[in-house]
Amino acid sequence: MKLSSSLLLLSSLSLSTAALIPSRSPFRTLAKRANATVDPMYQLSNDSDFHFELLRVLSMAPYEGSDIGETLVAAKQIIPGSYESFYSAFFTLANRVLNVSTSIDATRFPVSARNAWFKTSSYFRSADFFLHGNWSDPRINSLWDSQLSAFDAALSLMPKPIRGERITLHSANTTNSTAFSIPAVFYPSGKPGPRPTIILCNGYDGSQEEMYHFWVKAIVERGMNAITYEGPGQPTVRRQQNLGFIPNWEAVVTPVVDYALTRREVSPSQIGILGFSFGGYLAPRAAAFEHRLAAVLAIDGEYNTGPAILSQFPAALQAAFNASDADAFNKGTEDILSSPEAPTEVKWAIQQGMWAFKEASPYNWMKNLQAYTLVGITDKIQAPVFVADAENDIFFPGQGKILAEHLGDLATYHYFTGAEGAGAHCSLGAEVLQTQVALDWFEETVKYTEKQGCS
Ligand SMILES: *[C@@H]1O[C@H](CO)[C@@H](O)[C@H](O)[C@H]1NC(C)=O
Ligand SMILES: *[C@@H]1O[C@H](CO)[C@@H](O)[C@H](O)[C@H]1NC(C)=O
Ligand SMILES: *[C@@H]1O[C@H](CO)[C@@H](O)[C@H](O)[C@H]1NC(C)=O
Ligand SMILES: *[C@@H]1O[C@H](CO)[C@@H](O)[C@H](O)[C@H]1NC(C)=O
Ligand SMILES: *[C@@H]1O[C@H](CO)[C@@H](O)[C@H](O)[C@H]1NC(C)=O
Ligand SMILES: *[C@@H]1O[C@H](CO)[C@@H](O)[C@H](O)[C@H]1NC(C)=O
Ligand SMILES: *[C@@H]1O[C@H](CO)[C@@H](O)[C@H](O)[C@H]1NC(C)=O
Do 332 and 408 fall into the same domain?
Answer: no
Do 319 and 173 fall into the same domain?
Answer: no
- Which 3 state secondary structure label does DSSP give 55? helix
249 domain residue, yes or no: yes
Q: Is 176 touching ligand 6 by the criterion CB < 6 Å? A: yes
Q: Please report the atom of ligand 7 found closest to the CA of residue 315.
A: 13
If one residue of 170, 173, 254 were mutated to test the ligand 5 pocket, choosing by the most ligand atoms within 8 A of its CB, it would be: 173
- Which 3 state secondary structure label does DSSP give 201? strand
- Taking each helix axis as running N to C, give the angle between helix 110-128 and helix 139-156, from 0 to 180 degrees, rounded to the nearest 10: 160
Q: Is the pTM of this model over 0.75?
A: yes
CB 163 within 8 A of CB 185: no
27 domain residue, yes or no: no
Do 171 and 56 fall into the same domain?
Answer: no
Give ∠ CA 121-146-83 in degrees, rounded to 5: 80
Q: Which domain holds residue 69?
A: 32-157
348 domain residue, yes or no: yes
**Average pLDDT rounded to a whole number, residues 364-390:** 97
Q: Whose CA is nearest to atom 5 of ligand 1?
A: 37
Asked if the model's pLDDT at residue 2 lies above 80, the reply is no
Q: Whose CA is nearest to atom 9 of ligand 5?
A: 179
CATH number of 233's domain: 3.40.50.1820
247 domain residue, yes or no: yes
Do 383 and 344 fall into the same domain?
Answer: no
Do 378 and 361 fall into the same domain?
Answer: no
Last residue of a domain, one of 115, 136, 157: 157
Give ∠ CA 425-50-215 in degrees, rounded to 5: 40
**Ligand 4 neighbours by CB, cut-off 6 Å:** 134, 136-138
Tell me the CA–centroid distance for residue 378 and ligand 2, in Å. Answer: 44
pLDDT, position 305: 93
Confidence grade of residue 24 (pLDDT, cut at 50, 70, 90): very low
Last residue of a domain, one of 96, 123, 157: 157
Do 135 and 233 fall into the same domain?
Answer: no
Do 46 and 193 fall into the same domain?
Answer: no
Burial track 118-149 (b if 16+ CB lie within 10 A, e otherwise) = bbbbbbbbbbbbbbbeeeeeeebeebbebbbe
Do 242 and 313 fall into the same domain?
Answer: no
Do 59 and 139 fall into the same domain?
Answer: yes
Specify the number of domains making up the chain: 3
426 domain residue, yes or no: yes
Do 278 and 408 fall into the same domain?
Answer: yes
- 105-146 tens-digit pLDDT: 999 999 999 999 999 999 999 999 999 999 999 999 999 999
pLDDT, position 171: 95
Do 292 and 406 fall into the same domain?
Answer: yes
pLDDT, position 34: 41
CATH number of 57's domain: 1.20.1440
Q: How many CA atoms, within 13 angstroms, populate the side-chain half-sphere of residue 76?
A: 5
Residue 422 CB partners (closer than 8 Å, separation 6+): 390, 391, 416, 429, 430, 433, 434
Do 339 and 391 fall into the same domain?
Answer: no
**Average pLDDT rounded to a whole number, residues 231-250:** 97
Q: Whose CA is nearest to atom 3 of ligand 2?
A: 46
Among the listed residues 107, 115, 172, 183, the one whose alpha carbon sits nearest the alpha carbon of residue 144: 183
214 domain residue, yes or no: yes
Q: What share of the chain is helix, strand, coil (3-state, %, to 5)?
A: 50, 10, 40
